[in-house]
Structure formats: structure tokens, C-alpha cells
Structure 1
């Protein structure tokens, strides 16, 4: 998929289709959402102060949850029909909370399951669209949704919810957003767990407790690897046909957290108001020296094989040395989901050698 902004498939007045959105638009910013439209679902939204997390009514009585926009979302009862951004849905699934519909990248990548879909039973779910700007309102309405959930990069924008159809979407169900940018990884992990619990998950279930223990162990192993192989410079990136994008680590919750554990990152400089990337032409791909490169593994990004089309990419020391590792920059925010990510990076850090520029 060379340009995720080129939407293919069904086109109708109920399908938002944005062929003009570039890869940079997906990589660098979310669709702007004002989130101010009146809602017709039962209950109400407010910005009043309340404790974070949601009500624990056992499925009976009113349901409330204060999301990361600072909004207290209220319904007359716990929402049953859920629709969510694919990786958010995958995280909830790890806690036993199931959704009816998803939106966002879910198609296989190079014949393998999409990394953003986690363990989701995709064949049983209704997809509202897989490309940025693609959201079937007709299918959404047919589900009779009680609640829509998505990540935010950063608030108040709901990721993959198109601005053009925001009001229509909000008129059908309440929305909840979890912030995953300009913070540390532990925050969205905690907030997603709180949301799952409010939706009926048992955070004391043996498999959930075990997943958290495994995550904590993986964290300490990564911390030790960073300490034992100190001085390794790591660069996180994505790319398209025109440019290479170097991540600004503190803008991404995972990279921010990895820095806290002692990993030394190349610090990309903000190229726009969003502050997620430094844009480099491929001629300048060697601006920074890196001993290890983390490559965006999303379907919207060029794969390691596609990156080989760029001669300057092939000349980078880390690429020549085979010191690259997938970057799961939109991994599902569950402890079960992130443990393999930590283990993969730990192995890469331990094996990496300092390279000459």
C-alpha cells in the first residue's frame, strides 16, 4: 500500500472518502475534531470534574467514564454495543471486552495478520473502513452503537474519526478518547485498563494479573539491556516515496517510556506544529548516525522491503549491519500487547553493536 490516503472500495454519501489525504497527513496528525456537536444518545457529556475511570455498577444502573479530554461521559446503563479504533478494540479484547465494529487498519500485511489488530476475531466484526478518512456511517448506524472509542494523538482528536462526518458520527453514539501522545506509555496502559474495567472487565482475573506480571518483568529486562549495552543510539522512523520521517521521541508514549528506561534515542527535530516527526528528504537520510533503527510496522508505512528502493537507506550503517527492529508505534495498549514489544526491543538492544558513522 503505497499511499494510505488513496481510499479504495465502496463510495457513497455514507462513506467518507478522502483521496487527497497524504501519507504525511496520516503520519503527522489526526483529523481535527471539535467534539462539540449535540448528542442524541441517552445521558450526557460534561467537562465537570470527577474522578478518573468509570463507574463499577456490575452492569446495573448508570454508567460513567471520564475520558482523557476531561469529559465525563454518562449513559443510563453500561454500554453493550461498542465500536472502536482497531488497536483500541484489540486492547479491550485482551481484557475480555468485545466490540461489534472496528475502524482503522485491519487488513493483512504481507500475508500476515495486521499488527494493530492483536488477537481480534476480525471475521466476526464489522469493519467501517480500513483507510484514513474512510468511515461508513451507514454501517455504523446499522450496528446501533452505544459507544465509540478511539485513541488520541493528542486530545481532543479521535484517531481515524473523519472531521467531515464528525457531527453525524457523534449524533449516533457517545464517544470516549484515550490519549496516547506526549505522555509516557504507562498512562495509556493504565487508562485503557480502567476503561475496560468500567465496561465489565475483571482486572483481578488470573490471566490479566499474569499479563501484568509478564509486562513488569519485560520492563526490567529492557532496563537491564539498556544499562548493559549503554551508548547504543536508536533511531525510530517511518518512510514513504518522498521522505524519511525521524521520530521526536517525547511525542510518542512508547519511545518516551523507553527513554525513561535508559535507551538513548536520536532526537528528531519537530518539522511542523504537530511535533511528531522531522521530515528528511531521502538524500538527507544519513543526517543522523544510529546503531539501531526501529522501523514503523504499520500497514500505512513502507515495509523494510519497500525501503530498499531508496539507495541512501541501503547505505545507512545500521541497515548495512542488519541492526533494525520493527517499531510497533500503534500497538494495542494492553499489558499483554506490549510485553512482546518490550521483549523484541530488549533482544535487539542486547545484540546491537556500536557502529562507525
Structure 2
């Protein structure tokens, strides 16, 4: 496609997003959009965060990006249309968890931006497999002029991802007794336990054959439990949220329920907003496979 020709891309809200030419200045949501697009060879002019972020740019979500490299425009109610428009974007990229709303941006701000800038939202919520999300970012990267092949990162990364997925399936077959739980520490009293079907990366683990229990009770993406209730689930491997909005597990040593969990289980750092690239997916699958394999040997009858 000629860079000066009419540009179009159908996003995951079902909207046909158009521009008079291929966008060159892109403002994007940090983890799923900006970090993924950077891996795919797309340069971004500005980034913004989630309403849950604390103290500015979350380095876990940024995945190597820093405010020294690219302008950080704010998060939540601090993100304004004038701040975004000052970066002079010709494309605004976000994610959607429900297929309708642009995540992390106030509705009024979304209205102002959509009136001024082509806006794309890619789906990362329930019902979307991790690899299909990866492919969608690859499609957007290709539309923006990069190679954007298998995850946009070349044959070596694609092969590594496939090997990691194969290894995880093998480990899951051999360690079918190992229980895996993903959670986000809320405070010394509570943890948010992830629902496997709500998160593409956890769904990928379940489809590989790992045992990820779902917890009864309210909450679409998370079930909130006390730490003693978490311990009673007897997980063997625990994926712990390491984003800035989660309480670091090092601050939970006085919590008896957490001590019981980490004494029994292998603990794996977890970023629920994983950049959807072959490289990041491979690293994630390998980390889980190592922990499950180790616990499988320990717990073997």
C-alpha cells in the first residue's frame, strides 16, 4: 500500500476506521497496544496507561518502553483529549474487553478523540484466544506498514513460540495432578483470583491441558477471596500479578494465608496484560511449564 493512499482497518468493535493516508504518528495504550506494536516494528509517538496504574508509567506493562523513549500522556482521569491531541497523533490505538468500549479512557474523552483522530480498539477480553489476539496485533502492524508476520517478530520467535506451546502440552499431560491458580494480591486481607476464561493467557494454559480451577461467586474477571480461602484451594503453582496496582508479595509475609500458599506452591510472576507477541508468549509459556514440571516431580505419587 502506498503511504499516501487511503487507509482503512476494521477494529474489534466492528468499526471501519479510515484515514486519508497510512498513519505515521500513533498514540497507544501501554501494554497490549504500545508494547506489542513496538515489538512488531511500529514506532509510537505517545503512550497512556490504565486507571489502575499507580505513580505514572507501570514498568511491567511498558515491557521495556520508558517515558524517556516516548511521551507518557497520563492514565485514567488524568488522561485528557488535549494531552493526547498535543502529541499530534493520526491514529489512537486501545483495547476493548467487551467489544464495545475503549478501555481505560473516560467516555467523554473517547468522544472528543474519535471526533478528531481515527481510533482503533482490539479485543483482549473473554472469548479471545491469546494467539488470535497476537494475530490481530500483527494484522494492525501490517496495515501500518511493517512485516507483521507470525506475531511480527520473525521465523525464530515464531518457532520458539511453537516449541514452548508444545512443551507446555507435554508437561500438562505428565503433570495432570498439578493445580494452577492466578491471582492479584489486593491487600493483607484479600486476593483477586482470576477466572481462567476471562484472560486469554490463562485460557491458553487451560487449553494446553493444565488444571485451572474457577471459583464460585460474583465477579466477571476476578473472584475476591480472603487469603485463608485462597490457601484452602491448595494450589500447586500460583501466578502472581506483578503490575503496580497489585500488592507485592514481599509485603505479605505477615499474612498467614499467603505464607501457607507460598510454602506449598511454586510462585511465578504474572503480567495479566501480556504484550501479545511470539517472544512474550513463548517466555510466559516457558515460565509456567518450568514451574508445573518442577511441582509435578515433587508431587508425583
Q: Please say if 1:305 is aligned against 2:250.
A: yes
User: Match of 1:141?
Assistant: 85
Counterpart of 2:225 in 1: which secondary structure? strand
User: Match of 2:27?
Assistant: 83
2:154 to 208, 217, 222: 208
Greater alpha carbon shift after TM alignment, 337-346 vs 63-72: 337-346
Counterpart of 1:344 in 2: which secondary structure? helix
Greater alpha carbon shift after TM alignment, 146-155 vs 135-144: 135-144
TM-score (norm 2): 0.89
User: Match of 1:32?
Assistant: none
User: Match of 1:176?
Assistant: 120
User: Match of 2:267?
Assistant: 324
Q: Quote how far apart the aligned CAs of 1:309 are.
A: 4.0
Structure having the larger proportion of residues in helix:
2
The 5 A counterparts of 1:15-30 are none
1:234 to 168, 180, 193: 180
Deviations 1:141-165 (A, max 9, x none): 2111111111222221222212342
8 Å Cα contact 2:138-2:149 kept in structure 1: no
Measured at CA, do residues 161 and 58 of structure 1 come closer, stay the same or move farther in structure 2, by a change above 3 Å? Answer: same
Q: State the distance in 1 between where 2:295 and 2:228 align.
A: 26
8 Å Cα contact 1:248-1:269 kept in structure 2: no
Q: Please say if 1:244 is aligned against 2:191.
A: yes
Q: How many residues align?
A: 291
8 Å Cα contact 2:98-2:123 kept in structure 1: yes
Measured at CA, do residues 253 and 323 of structure 1 come closer, stay the same or move farther in structure 2, by a change above 3 Å? Answer: same
8 Å Cα contact 1:68-1:178 kept in structure 2: yes
Q: State the distance in 2 between where 1:126 and 1:132 align.
A: 16
8 Å Cα contact 1:203-1:209 kept in structure 2: no
The 5 A counterparts of 1:1-357 are 57-87=1-31, 88-104=33-49, 114-120=59-65, 122-129=67-74, 131-182=75-126, 183-203=128-148, 207-241=153-187, 242-272=189-219, 275-316=220-261, 319-321=262-264, 323-353=266-296
Counterpart of 1:237 in 2: which secondary structure? strand
Q: Quote how far apart the aligned CAs of 1:283 are.
A: 4.5
TM-score (norm 1): 0.76
Q: Quote how far apart the aligned CAs of 1:246 are.
A: 1.1
Measured at CA, do residues 59 and 210 of structure 1 come closer, stay the same or move farther in structure 2, by a change above 3 Å? Answer: farther
Measured at CA, do residues 239 and 132 of structure 1 come closer, stay the same or move farther in structure 2, by a change above 3 Å? Answer: farther
8 Å Cα contact 1:245-1:279 kept in structure 2: yes
Q: Quote how far apart the aligned CAs of 1:268 are.
A: 2.2
- Structure 1 vs Structure 2 CA RMSD: 2.4
Structure 2 stretches of 5 or more lacking a match? none
8 Å Cα contact 1:58-1:200 kept in structure 2: no
Q: Quote how far apart the aligned CAs of 1:322 are.
A: 5.1
Q: State the distance in 1 between where 2:294 and 2:162 align.
A: 22
Q: State the distance in 2 between where 1:266 and 1:203 align.
A: 35
Greater alpha carbon shift after TM alignment, 256-265 vs 345-354: 345-354
After the TM superposition, list the runs of 4 or more consecutive aligned residues in structure 1 that deviate by more than 6 angstroms: none
8 Å Cα contact 2:153-2:279 kept in structure 1: no
